[in-house]
Amino acid sequence: MSVTTVGSPSETRTTSVGSIDLKLEAVVIPVSSLDRAKQFYLGLGWRLDADFSKGNARVLQFTPPGSPCSFQFGTNLTPAAPGSAHNLLVVSDIEAARNELVGRGVQVGEVFHFSEGPAPFGDKVRGPAPDHQSYGSYASFSDPDGNTWLLQEVTARFPGRVDRSQLSFSSARDLASALRRASAAHGEHERRSGKADENWPDWYARYMTAEESGEGLPS
């Protein structure tokens, strides 16, 4: 398999896609106080995977709910200044995610979108993207050091973004959200056809698979 990448409007080149899986395991976040960071991220509801010390060194590892990637905080793990990290977290329901964080005592900015589509195009506009367009709605919060976390609502992936053989739902909430979207779309399908669809489980399955993988949705 090959893909075309763009270096400039007048330059394109074809590169080969590697056959060895390279899975992002952990990202290091610079903080000034490990104890303070630990309390903050525990308060978010993130899973504490590790807290171990050896001599003067200490490492913490947290994993957000449903995330295949973890985040590490520790002594001498990175030369980056505390508060300099900017990271993106994907959610299936931007308002529910924000409300949960606010309920945990986190100061989260209002939901917003960009006037000309997904970031970074256009001006910031308060509220979710029209029709909750996938990739279009955002909110953000910071930890005590000022490291920024941007929440982005993603319900349907861009084509080719997800390997169909790796499709899965990381939580009951994500699965429930996908089922609700499939139910709403299926209602429209039945109205268009003018009859009840006895094979609705198959239709739901096709819709949810296509939405997750970025393929064309059934009508």
Between 77 and 188, whose confidence is greater? 77
Residues 141, 19: Cα–Cα separation, whole Å? 37
Residues in the chain: 219
Res 208 pLDDT > 50: yes
Nearest to 211 by CA among 186, 184, 172, 181: 181
Least confident range from 94-98, 172-176, 190-194: namely 172-176
> Which pair of tokens denotes residue 172?
């009951």
Q: How sure is the predictor about 12, in pLDDT bands with cuts at 50, 70 and 90?
A: very low
pLDDT tens digit string along 53-71? 999 999 999 999 988 899 9
